[in-house]
Amino acid sequence: MKRIVALLIIVATVIGISAVASAAPKKEVSPRIDLNWTIEETASQNGVSGEVLLRNLELPDNQANRAAKLSSLNVSEEQADLALRKAITLKNEGASKNWQLIVLKFGLWWMLVIGGIVLLTRNLVTPVRRKWLLLLAVLVFGVFLGSDPSPMGTVKDTIALYGIERVFFPPRLVAFAVFTAMVIVGNKMICGWGCQFGTLQDLIGQMSPIKQKLRVPFKWSQRIRIMVFIVFTLAAFLLSLDLIGVIDPFMIYAPAKVTFLAGIFIALLLLLSLVTYRPWCTFACPFGLTGWFFERFALYRVHWDEKKCIACGTCKRICPSQHTIGLLAGEKHPADCYSCGACLKACPVSALKYARKKEQN
């Protein structure tokens, strides 16, 4: 009963504080077009630069073109609309970001990754410490610093923005590269220790009174995750629809944006977190999928010493993601490892070690 009360308090605190801290929704802006306007006039009327507009129209940037009317340049209303939408979208994307907060957030994430690696290599991550660290991540990276950026958002928003508007937002690609670097430095540390929604699910699972969690075989959960990724991508490119955006679970840290459907979906995920490990990460997260691919290149990860192992099966039972099942079976592509450290503490003969490959012996 105490655990249930504690969980309710945590969820209520996340929603309550996030509601106060979250920013107002972005305003949609539609292009203003008159084919008798010059490029400069059109750009000015829409609050974008002539250089960007000409580039999107695939026209040379010179004074003559800037002073020319759209009609004289044989630019149709449809072409102008598409070019302006791209320019306005990029402008709005940039204007919606708090760049100082983002820099702070990434700095703290790197500190977390490095600190987590130190703790894991020294086998200092106990179950109690793990819960406190998860709670800290939820509060710092979610409640106080907000839903954006997030590891998932770098993949989801990049695909959705290009599929719908045919635009890439360069800073988001940089963020994806940085998050991927964190995956490679410490095996999926950003997902396991820093992701706002991932750590919230993990914390709920850790505090759940249900000890025997539902474990879907990785071959099935991975197929579901791949299918979600394919359907989401096709919807963005063919239907101009951001399917994940409709039910984005990271909106829990921006309650003002939560729709009825999203609220139901988020509540379902939190309830599922009581009975199964990280349901969103396991079955749907696009960054979870890309991160899983890059795990194989991780510098620091869990290594298994077969000579020390007594085949007791403890690590297989304790691992929440089933990674150790594949690891001990010698699979090339085992289930995701979130660097939680549970197997390290549970192994009675220290046959598992978190280290660089050359250091494992």
In-domain check, residue 134? yes
Residues 90, 141 share a domain? no
Residue 29 banded pLDDT, cuts 50, 70, 90: low
Q: DSSP letter at 26?
A: P
Looking at the fold, whether 48 and 121 belong to one and the same domain comes out as no
Per-residue pLDDT for 4 more than 60?
A: no
Average of per-residue pLDDT across 125-129: 93
Is residue 223 within 8 A of residue 229, CB to CB? The reply is: no
Say what the pLDDT of residue 39 is.
Answer: 85
Asked whether residue 286 falls in the same domain as residue 158, the answer is yes
Residue with the bigger pLDDT between 13 and 279: it is: 279
How many domains would you assign to the chain?
Answer: 3
DSSP state of 352: E
Q: In the predicted model, what is the mean pLDDT of residues 142-163?
A: 93
Q: Which residues pair with 353 in a beta bridge?
A: 303
Same domain, 109 and 225: yes
> Which 3 state secondary structure label does DSSP give 17?
helix
- What percent of the chain lies above the pLDDT cut of 90? 66
Q: Give the pLDDT of residue 32.
A: 85
For residues 327 and 358, the model is more confident at 327
% of the chain surpassing 70 pLDDT: 91
Among the ranges given (60-64, 173-177, 240-244, 259-263), the one the predictor scored with the smallest mean pLDDT? 60-64
Q: 30 in a domain, yes or no?
A: no
Question: What are the pLDDT digits (tens) for 215-253?
Answer: 999 999 999 999 999 999 999 999 999 999 999 999 999
Residues in contact with 283: Cβ distance below 8 Å, sequence separation at least 6, in sequence order: 216, 221, 224, 225, 228
Coil, helix or strand at residue 275? coil
Residue 24 has pLDDT above 50, yes or no: no
CA atoms within 13 A on the CB side of 336: 28
Q: 201-219, pLDDT tens digit by residue?
A: 999 999 999 988 999 999 9
Residue 34 lies in a domain: no
- Let me know if residue 32 belongs to a domain: no
pLDDT at position 12:
46
Model confidence at 359: pLDDT above 70:
no
Instruction: Determine the distance from the C-alpha atom of residue 124 to the mean position of all C-alpha atoms in its chain, rounded to a whole number.
Output: 27
End residue of a domain, out of 250, 269, 293:
293
**Torsion angle defined by CA atoms of residues 242, 246, 250 and 251, in that order, rounded to the nearest 10 degrees:** 130
Q: What is the mean pLDDT of residues 87-109?
A: 89
Does 151 lie in the same domain as 289?
yes
The predicted pLDDT at position 323 comes to 96
Long-range contacts of 153-159 (CB under 8 A, 24+ apart): 153/250, 154/179, 154/287, 155/286, 155/287, 155/290, 156/232, 156/242, 156/244, 156/245, 156/248, 156/286, 156/287, 159/232, 159/233, 159/236, 159/286
Domain boundary among 276, 293, 310: 293
Answer yes or no: is pLDDT of 17 > 60. no
Per-position DSSP letters for 60-87, written without gaps between them:
--SHHHHHSBTGGGT--HHHHHHHHHHH
90 plus 106 within the same structural domain: no
Whether the predicted model's global pTM rises above the 0.75 cut: yes
Residue 360 pLDDT exceeds 80: no
Query: Identity (one letter) of the amino acid at 285?
Result: C
What is the rounded average pLDDT of the residues 180-209?
96
Tokens representing 164 are: 């719908």
Give the bridge partners for 276, in sequence order: 214
pLDDT (0 to 100) of residue 14 = 54
Res. 22: pLDDT tops 50: no
pLDDT band, residue 61 (cuts 50/70/90)? confident
Q: Is residue 33 part of a domain?
A: no
Determine the Cα–Cα distance for residues 17 and 35; give it in Å rounded to an integer. Answer: 48
* φ/ψ of residue 53, rounded to 5: -60, -45
Residue of 252, 139, 115, 253 lying closest to 189 (CA atoms): 115
**CA-derived radius of gyration, the chain:** 24
- Give yes or no: residues 124 and 213 share one domain: yes
Per-residue pLDDT reduced to its tens digit, 84-97:
888 888 888 888 88
Question: Domain containing 287: what range?
Answer: 2-23+98-293
Instruction: Note whether 17 and 73 are same-domain residues.
Output: no
Q: Looking at the structure, do residues 147 and 266 belong to the same domain, yes or no?
A: yes
Lookup: tokens for 308: 């020390």
Residues 345 and 256 in one domain: no
Q: Is residue 102 part of a domain?
A: yes
| Residue 20: predicted pLDDT | 43
Do 281 and 338 lie in one domain? The reply is: no
Residue at 192 is within a domain: yes
Average pLDDT, the chain: 88
pLDDT over 50 (residue 199): yes
Banded model confidence at residue 172, pLDDT cuts 50, 70, 90? very high
Residues 295-304, mean pLDDT to the nearest whole number: 95
Assess whether pLDDT exceeds 60 at residue 1: no
Query: Considering 95, 110, 141, which residue would you say is the last residue of a domain?
Result: 95
Residues 167 and 206 in one domain: yes
User: What is the distance between the alpha carbons of residues 273 and 280, in angstroms, rounded to a whole number?
Assistant: 9
